[in-house]
């Protein structure tokens, strides 16, 4: 049984804040295939297309028949625990700081023998386990032995919490609470057990319905002025709450429905870029450093940065052409952010929804993503420690087409979808 | 009527003004709101093009970006903050001669101001419209509005420091005071004024869209080649008559307006 | 097995050298190699210029290579090999050097295993030890091979009913042997109680199951028997030798080593049965592997290791002398020199240079090699039987 996570006591402010030492992050190119799959929540191993042998550790040619036709395939992870051990000593700083730490040796039904981190609820050998892949604090895939039947609190396992960004007992910033999506995200965070949710809102003199009033009535919610186009305001807010934010969720966006020719002038495109791209830049410059400095600050320290992008970031959707371009720019910058957050072990989660069921997608036929579904996908990604999320049917289908042949997708979108 | 100044030389008039300002007998009042990112800007429906709010970004501040100096880059619209409207700003003034900020004759940037006090009327009525009756009452007390003078509507609206209260939006739109159609036409046609000034976000009332024609102050003033001033403050420090306004906008090529510093020269006891 | 292998007759193994082990050193591996070669020269009377073959094993040469060492030391060999296979390198260097001498490709081969140990060497070597270690074991914080051998030990205990006490016997007897080795890092005796009470590292591996990394070198010369006699050098001869890599890859976890596959060949070459051996120098990175070598080299059946150690004394003067210099567990592991430790001790035993720890009437001994944990097991195994000259 996993001990449920208790609310941590208040921090002693005169003590130095522990910094992050990352677990070993080097991987060969082929081994990064594990990371690419784990980034989306999948456990994959290479399978030989010619003889079917499953390979581990990752390699260039089949160890059975020498074929170079190795393909990454999803695994069930079912296997037998051959042995377990508890580390009481490690030369590696990450593990040294977190001893004792449990490891296991698993014989996968599919063939290979795996060294894994072991969930606390897995018993001693011999026993059945289910292996999954998660991203560790260095952002690299590691294998984990899970029990076949987990308890209600299994997510609170100390080892598993190092791989995830559970909002429970944490403090979050949602940059725009004036949209339905923003309000849904706030509600989902509160439901997931967040202690405080700071909710940003711009142009306080512009009222867009009662949604903001409704969520500001929640006891966990504090409204804060936040206009991502106003650099001074972002700096001031970071100065005031930045040192306490554990999860940043940047959902602020401007979405208009123009390509190039449909509207003269660059002011609309500039407004999109000023929030969708430069807003992210300002926010990251101001909130990034404090977030990084607290990434190892106790059991509920700083942990993640979520960017609401769009599936249109992958391939331009011409009817929303300038919006697509701004999301593509934001995507590129979010990759930069991921690289800069990596030394601190902060997870950057990029969310690529298809069209959301809001006013700017009024002309888009269904299926459209409900704001609550998007919010739930974000909380799930935080809990599962996944870093690239494509919520909804349209996003999934678009992603498949883009991966299959991006040029073909470009042509299809130019022809209307 | 011959006055003393008609017998003095220009040098004596200007010299006298300088002396009076040095001794404090003539004071300078600032009628301008500070340009900050928090100051609200005019908001149109989302489908329309928008006026940029004021934004400012440091270039360097005695740091690695510039060790010995501090400076900023800023951006805003022509109609951000305390600003001047030129006739070219409105469709009714588009074809008039000298109608942009760079071509308006510069002597028009120094002119007398008449301040009509509606502050009591605005209490409890955010949509108050300045009427012809208000103008007649003003003239009965302070004399006829001279040709070529600014008419400023004092409402103390500038004392609303909370942007929400300043903009005063609800589901039916914005609610700020302004002039009625009749008042505007009277000022233009009967008094040949230089322009209209307001403490609120626009020269027209917040519900001006629903007047006939929509936005009558813009329509008639600019249609007659006159000007507008918005987001003024400290009108309560001006005398009802006799202040001299100095308000030159930026010399923007074909500009429709610009943020500017509006100053008033007043006597010591005003 | 189709062809008969060439015997190793006519080859002499002589001049066992140890450059004393130290815990940490600011010198590079080259210093220890240089010290070893100088000692070989002084002890053998062979001039440096006459050494025309060099076989090196070292993990701390980088960015240099074995060839760089020839220039560094002023050697000009006509035969050169670098065999950085850790615990198997002594056996593997000997096999290669012996063939070179037999073929006439070299007359006098210096075999040197050497490594330095800086304060952070251990961690640095691990991080980039192999592709698979980098990708599949180092990320799990295992702190080296400890957790892998913890799995192997735990699995062995569960499968065959071995107890920690059984492994403790191996360690205790080796410590007794070490007390007669002036070069051993550990100078104090070890009791079974102390072994059992030691702190856990990665259970069931505890402190005294682990070797102590250090800096040092071990070396020997390989030449023809004729040359050895001309030089008046006491020497041993090679009765048989085997080598195997990546054996039993299908075993999900290691329960047997490559020696098992080739031991019949080894004993056939030597023309003896296991019982004829007077001592063994097993490779002791962990006691469970020592126990497996007892089984896989034919001293008892698979799974009978516990019973074997309970019924034998493994001190130099006991019924089954094992690791008579103390092994790595008591002498220390000087990197790749660990693969040479058993070899130089075997040569000493067979040339009456083993001092107070001499095995009475030692005629025939076996040296086993085991090395290169790249992921979840060691890949190299090897063994050689040495004897006194006829």
What structural domains and CATH numbers belong to chain A? 32-156 (no CATH), 171-414 (3.40.50.720)
What average pLDDT does this structure show over C152-180?
A: 97
Compute how many other C-beta atoms are within 10 angstroms of the C-beta atom of residue A356: 25
Q: Is residue B34 part of a domain?
A: yes
Give the ipTM: 0.89
C370 and C262 share one domain: yes
Output the pLDDT for position C261. 97
pLDDT for A206 equals 86
Of C135, C137, C154, the CB nearest to A83: C154
pLDDT band at B2 (very low <50, low <70, confident <90, very high): low
Q: H-helix or E-strand containing B107?
A: none
Sign of the torsion angle spanned by Cα atoms A259, A260, A263, A266: positive
| Statement: residue B270 has pLDDT above 60 | no
Task: Report the C-alpha gap between B195 and B262 in whole angstroms.
Answer: 14
Helix (H, G, I), strand (E, B) or coil at A15: coil
Residues C18 and C31 in one domain: yes
Is some CB atom of chain A closer than 8 A to the CB atom of C91? no
The CA distances from residue B80 to A349, B52, B229, B259, C348, in Å, are 37, 7, 11, 6, 95
For C294-333, write each residue's pLDDT tens digit. Answer: 999 999 999 999 999 999 999 999 999 999 999 999 999 9
* pLDDT score at B268: 85
Residue B217 burial by Cβ neighbours in a 10 Å radius (0-12, 13-18, 19+): buried
Q: C192 and C85 in one domain?
A: no
User: Cα–Cα–Cα angle for B32, B35, B41, nearest 5°?
Assistant: 95
CATH of the domain at C154: 3.40.47.10
Q: C167, C202, C231: which is the final residue of a domain?
A: C231
What pLDDT was estimated at residue A91?
A: 87
Name the domain count of chain C.
Answer: 2
B125 part of a folded domain: yes
Q: Using pLDDT thresholds of 50, 70 and 90, give the confidence band for residue C125.
A: low
Q: Which two tokens stand for residue C206?
A: 């505890």
Tens digit of each residue's pLDDT (9 = 90 or more) over B137-152: 999 999 999 999 999 9
Tell whether C341 and C205 lie within a shared domain.
Answer: yes
Least CB–CB distance from A230: residue in B37, B170, B171: B37
| B79 close to B207: Cβ distance less than 8 angstroms | no
What percent of chain B has a predicted confidence (pLDDT) above 90? 94
Q: Give the whole-angstrom CA distance, residue A248 versus residue A279.
A: 13
Touch A-B: 3+ C-beta pairs under 8 A: yes
Answer yes or no: is B228 within a domain.
Answer: yes
Coil, strand or helix at B34: coil
Q: What is the DSSP letter of C390?
A: -
pLDDT tens per residue across span C18-64: 999 999 999 999 999 999 999 999 999 999 999 999 999 999 998 89
pTM score of the predicted model? 0.90
Q: Which domain holds residue C67?
A: 11-120+215-231
CB atoms within 10 A of CB C120: 10
Positive or negative torsion for Cα B138, B144, B146, B147 = positive
Specify if B55 maps to a domain: no
Taking only the tens place, the pLDDT of each residue in A63-108 is 999 999 999 999 999 999 999 999 999 989 999 999 999 999 999 9
CB contact under 8 A, C123 and A91: yes
CB-defined contacts A:C, below 8 A = 127
Looking at every residue in chain A, the average pLDDT score rounds to: 96
* C288 and C145 housed in the same domain: yes
Of A386, A347, A377, A383, nearest to A185 by C-alpha is A377
C254 with C323, same domain: the answer is: yes
- For residue B168, give the CATH number of its domain: 3.50.30.50
On average, the pLDDT of chain C sits at 95
Tens of pLDDT, residue by residue over C261-303, are: 999 999 999 999 999 999 999 999 999 999 999 999 999 999 9
Say yes or no: C249 and C155 in one domain. yes
Angle, CA of A301, A341 and A161, to the nearest 5°: 40
Residues C181 and C69 in one domain: no
- Domain of residue B215, residue span: 28-43+78-267
Q: What is the DSSP letter of A40?
A: T
Each residue's pLDDT tens digit in chain A (417 positions)? Answer: 899 999 999 988 899 999 999 999 999 999 999 999 999 999 999 999 999 999 999 999 999 999 999 999 999 999 999 999 999 999 899 999 999 999 999 999 999 999 999 999 999 999 999 999 999 999 999 999 999 999 999 999 999 999 999 999 999 999 999 999 999 999 999 999 999 999 999 998 888 888 999 999 999 999 999 999 999 999 999 999 999 999 999 999 999 999 999 999 999 999 999 999 999 999 999 999 999 999 999 999 999 999 999 999 999 999 999 999 999 999 999 999 999 999 999 999 999 999 999 988 998 899 999 999 999 999 999 999 999 999 999 999 999 999 999 999 999 999 986
Of the candidates B37, B49, B163, the beta carbon closest to that of A233 is on B37
d(CA A154, CA A121): 8
8 Å CB contact of A204 and B163: yes
Contact C139 A24 (CB under 8 A): yes
Tokens of A179: 């949209």
Q: Say yes or no: C110 and C159 in one domain.
A: no
CA A34 to chain centre: 16
- List the single residue in A with minimal CA-CA distance to B37: A230
Residue C1 resides in a domain:
no
Domains contained in chain B, number: 1
Question: For residue B12, is it within any domain?
Answer: no
Q: What phi and psi values does residue C380 have, to the nearest 5 degrees?
A: -100, 135
By Cβ distance, the residue of A85, A101, A115 closest to C376 is A115
Within this chain, do residues C114 and C206 fall inside the same structural domain, yes or no? no
Tell me if C13 sits within 8 A of C94, measured CB to CB.
yes
The reported pLDDT for the residue numbered A234 is 97
Q: Is residue C6 part of a domain?
A: no
Chains that touch B (3 or more CB pairs under 8 A): A
Give the single-character DSSP code of A241: H
**Residue C22 in domain:** yes
| Whether residue B1 has pLDDT greater than 80 | no
Residues C62 and C135 in one domain: no
The answer to whether position B93 is within a domain reads yes
- Cα A316 from Cα A338, distance rounded (Å): 23
- The answer to whether B43 contacts A203, with C-beta atoms less than 8 Å apart, is yes
CA distance B71 to B66: 9
| C-beta atoms of B49 and A268 within 8 A | yes
Query: How many CB atoms lie under 10 A from the CB of residue A35?
Result: 19
Report if residue C383 sits inside a domain.
Answer: yes
- Judging contacts by C-beta atoms under 8 Å, the chain B residues touching residue A267 are 49-50, 52
- Burial classification of residue C361, based on how many CB atoms lie within 10 Å of its CB (0-12 exposed, 13-18 middle, 19 or more buried): exposed
What is the predicted pLDDT for the residue at C127?
A: 58
Q: Which pLDDT does position C128 carry in this prediction?
A: 67
User: H or E element: which one contains A146?
Assistant: strand A141-146
Which residues from B are below 8 Å from A when comparing CB atoms?
A: 37-38, 40, 43, 49-50, 52-53, 55-57, 163-164, 166-171
pLDDT at A332: 98
Q: State the residue for tokens 């979108």.
A: A413
Nearby residues of B172 by Cβ (< 8 Å), 6 or more positions away: B207
When pLDDT is cut at 50, 70 and 90, the band that residue B129 belongs to is very high
Query: Catalytic annotation on B175?
Result: no
User: With b meaning 16 or more CB within 10 Å and e meaning fewer, what string describes A133-169?
Assistant: bbbbbbbbbbbbbbbeebeeebbbbebbbbbbbbbbb
Per the CB < 8 A criterion, the answer to whether B194 and B111 are in contact is yes
Q: What is the pLDDT of residue A389?
A: 98
Q: Based on the fold, state whether residues C171 and C97 are members of the same structural domain.
A: no
Mapping DSSP to helix (H, G, I), strand (E, B) and coil, where does residue A216 land? Answer: helix
Highest averaged pLDDT of the listed ranges B8-12, C129-133, C217-221: C217-221
């Amino acid at each position: 049984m996993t001990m449920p996570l208790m609310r941590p006591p208040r921090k002693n402010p005169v003590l130095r804040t522990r910094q992050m030492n990352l677990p070993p992050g080097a991987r060969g190119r082929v081994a990064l295939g594990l990371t690419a799959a784990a980034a989306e929540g999948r456990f994959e191993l290479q399978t030989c297309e010619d003889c079917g042998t499953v390979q581990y550790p990752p390699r260039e040619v089949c160890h059975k028949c020498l074929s170079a036709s190795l393909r990454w395939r999803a695994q069930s992870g079912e296997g037998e625990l051959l042995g377990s051990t508890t580390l009481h000593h490690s030369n590696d700083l990450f593990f040294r700081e977190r001893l004792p730490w449990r490891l296991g040796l698993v014989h996968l039904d599919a063939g290979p023998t795996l060294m894994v981190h072991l969930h606390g609820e897995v018993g001693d050998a011999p026993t059945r386990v289910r292996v999954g892949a998660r991203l560790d604090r260095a952002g690299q895939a590691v294998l984990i032995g899970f029990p076949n039947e987990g308890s209600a609190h299994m997510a609170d396992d100390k080892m598993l919490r190092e791989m995830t960004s559970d909002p429970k007992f944490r403090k979050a910033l949602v940059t725009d609470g004036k949209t339905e999506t923003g309000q849904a995200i706030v509600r989902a965070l509160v439901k997931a057990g967040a202690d405080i949710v700071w909710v940003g809102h711009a142009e306080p003199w512009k009222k867009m319905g009662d949604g903001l009033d409704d969520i500001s009535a929640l006891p966990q919610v504090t409204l804060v002025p936040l206009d991502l186009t106003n650099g001074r305001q972002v700096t001031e807010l970071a100065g005031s709450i930045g040192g306490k934010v554990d999860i940043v969720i940047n959902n602020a966006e401007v979405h208009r429905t123009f390509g190039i020719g449909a509207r003269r002038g660059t002011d609309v495109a500039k407004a999109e870029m000023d929030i969708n791209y430069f807003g992210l830049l300002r926010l990251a410059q101001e909130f990034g450093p404090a977030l990084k400095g607290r990434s190892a600050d106790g059991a509920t320290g700083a942990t993640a940065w979520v960017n609401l992008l769009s599936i249109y970031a992958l391939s331009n959707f011409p009817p929303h052409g300038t919006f697509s371009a701004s999301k593509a720019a934001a995507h590129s910058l979010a990759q930069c952010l991921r690289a800069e957050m990596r030394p601190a072990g902060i997870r950057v989660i990029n969310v690529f929804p298809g069209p959301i069921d809001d006013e700017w997608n009024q002309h888009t036929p269904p299926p459209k993503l409900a704001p609550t579904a998007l919010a739930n996908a974000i909380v799930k990604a935080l809990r599962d420690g996944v870093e690239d999320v494509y919520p909804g049917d349209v996003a999934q289908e678009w992603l498949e087409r883009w991966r299959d042949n991006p040029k073909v997708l470009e042509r299809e979108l130019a022809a209307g979808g | 009527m011959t006055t003393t100044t008609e017998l003095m030389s220009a040098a004596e008039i200007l010299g006298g003004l300088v002396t009076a300002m040095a001794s404090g007998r003539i004071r300078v009042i600032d009628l301008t709101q500070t340009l900050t990112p928090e100051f609200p800007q005019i908001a149109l429906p989302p489908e329309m093009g928008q006026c940029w709010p004021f934004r400012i970004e440091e270039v360097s501040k005695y740091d690695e970006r510039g060790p010995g100096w501090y400076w900023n880059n800023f951006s805003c619209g022509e109609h951000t903050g305390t600003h001047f409207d030129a006739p070219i700003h409105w469709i009714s003034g588009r074809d008039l001669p000298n109608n942009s900020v760079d071509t308006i004759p510069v002597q028009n940037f120094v002119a007398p101001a008449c301040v009509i006090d509606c502050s009591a009327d605005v209490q409890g009525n955010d949509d108050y419209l300045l009427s012809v009756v208000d103008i007649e009452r003003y003239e009965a007390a302070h004399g006829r509005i001279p040709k070529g003078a600014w008419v400023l509507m004092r409402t103390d609206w500038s004392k609303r420091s909370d942007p929400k209260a300043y903009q005063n939006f609800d589901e039916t739109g914005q609610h700020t005071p302004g002039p009625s159609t009749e008042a505007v036409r009277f000022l233009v046609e009967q008094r040949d004024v230089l322009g209209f000034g307001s403490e609120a976000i626009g020269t027209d009332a917040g519900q001006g869209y629903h007047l006939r024609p929509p936005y009558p102050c813009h329509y008639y003033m600019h249609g007659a080649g006159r000007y507008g001033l918005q987001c003024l403050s400290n009108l309560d420090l001006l005398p009802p008559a006799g202040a001299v306004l100095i308000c030159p906008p930026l010399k923007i090529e074909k500009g429709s307006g610009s943020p500017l510093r509006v100053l008033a020269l007043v006597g010591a006891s005003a | 097995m189709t062809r008969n292998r060439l015997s190793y007759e006519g080859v002499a193994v002589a001049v066992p050298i140890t450059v004393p082990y130290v815990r940490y050193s600011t010198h590079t591996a080259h210093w220890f190699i240089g010290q070893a070669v100088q000692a070989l020269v002084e002890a053998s009377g062979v001039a440096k210029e006459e050494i025309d073959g060099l076989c090196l094993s070292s993990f701390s040469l980088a960015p240099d290579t074995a060839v760089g060492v020839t220039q560094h030391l002023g050697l000009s060999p006509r035969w050169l090999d670098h065999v950085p296979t850790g615990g198997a390198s002594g056996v593997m260097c000997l096999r290669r050097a012996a063939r070179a001498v037999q073929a006439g490709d070299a007359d006098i081969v210096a075999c040197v295993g050497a490594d330095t140990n800086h304060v952070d060497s251990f961690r640095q070597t691990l991080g980039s030890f192999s592709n698979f270690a980098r990708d599949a074991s180092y990320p799990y914080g295992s702190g080296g091979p400890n957790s892998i051998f913890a799995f192997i030990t735990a699995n062995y205990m569960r499968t065959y009913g071995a107890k920690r006490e059984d492994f403790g016997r191996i360690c205790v007897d080796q410590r007794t042997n070490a007390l007669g080795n002036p070069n051993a890092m550990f100078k104090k005796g070890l009791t079974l109680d102390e072994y059992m009470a030691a702190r856990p590292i990665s259970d069931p591996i505890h402190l005294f199951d682990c070797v102590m990394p250090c800096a040092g070198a071990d070396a020997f010369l390989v030449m023809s028997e004729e040359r050895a006699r001309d030089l008046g050098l006491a020497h041993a001869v090679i009765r048989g030798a085997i080598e195997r890599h990546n054996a039993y890859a299908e075993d999900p976890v290691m329960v047997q080593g490559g020696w098992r596959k080739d031991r019949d060949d080894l004993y056939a070459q030597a023309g003896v049965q296991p019982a004829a051996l007077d001592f063994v120098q097993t490779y002791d990175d962990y006691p469970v592997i020592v126990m497996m070598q007892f089984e896989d080299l034919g001293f008892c059946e698979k799974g009978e290791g516990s019973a074997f150690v309970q019924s034998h004394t493994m001190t130099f003067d006991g019924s089954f002398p094992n690791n008579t210099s103390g092994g790595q567990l008591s002498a220390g592991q000087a990197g790749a020199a660990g693969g040479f430790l058993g070899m130089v001790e075997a040569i000493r035993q067979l040339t009456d240079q083993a001092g107070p720890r001499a095995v009475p009437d030692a005629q025939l001994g076996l040296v086993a090699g085991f090395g290169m944990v790249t992921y979840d097991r060691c890949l190299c195994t090897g063994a050689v039987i040495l004897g006194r000259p006829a």
